[in-house]
A = this chain, B = another copy of it.
Amino acid sequence: MTEVIEPAIETVTIDVVLSALADPVRLTLVRAFDAAGDWTCGSDVLKDTGVAIGKSTLSHHIKVLRDAGLIRTRVSGIRRLVTLRYDEVEQRFPGLLTMLREHGPARAAAESPASTP
C-alpha cells in the first residue's frame, strides 16, 4: 500500500491550478522540480533556492500541488520522491509550465540580463 493518490489530469481545473501557483513558495517548488527533471526528494529540492520553511509547511505545500494535479509522489523506502507531471499538465494547459520555465524566479531588476552572476 502506501500508494499516493493524485487526481486524473482531466479532472484538474484551471482555478485550482492558478490558486496553487499563486503562492511564492509553491512557485519555487514547481520551478525546482522542473529543474530537477527527475524524481526528487521534496526536502532536498529547496536546498539551493534560499527558501527556509518547516517540514510540516513543506508537506502542506506538496499536498496542495499534488491535489492540484501538478506533481506526483512516489514512495521509495524511507522517503518520498516527487516529480512534475510536465507532459500531462502541458497537454491540458498548453504553455503553462513553459511559461514558468522562461519567466524564471521574479528578479526585481531588468528583463534582459547580460549574464547570470
List A residues at the B interface (Cβ < 8 Å).
Answer: 10-11, 13-15, 18-19, 21-22, 24, 27, 93-96, 98-100, 103, 106, 111
Contacts and interface: CB of A to CB of B under 8 A. Distances in A.
B22 A99 contact: no
Nearest to A24: B15
Contact of A10 (B13, B95, B111): B111
A21 B18 CA distance: 7
Interface of A is mostly: helix
Contact of A99 (B24, B27, B94): B94
16 contacts: A11-B111, A13-B103, A13-B106, A14-B106, A15-B27, A18-B18, A18-B27, A19-B22, A21-B22, A22-B22, A93-B95, A93-B103, A94-B98, A95-B95, A95-B98, A96-B96
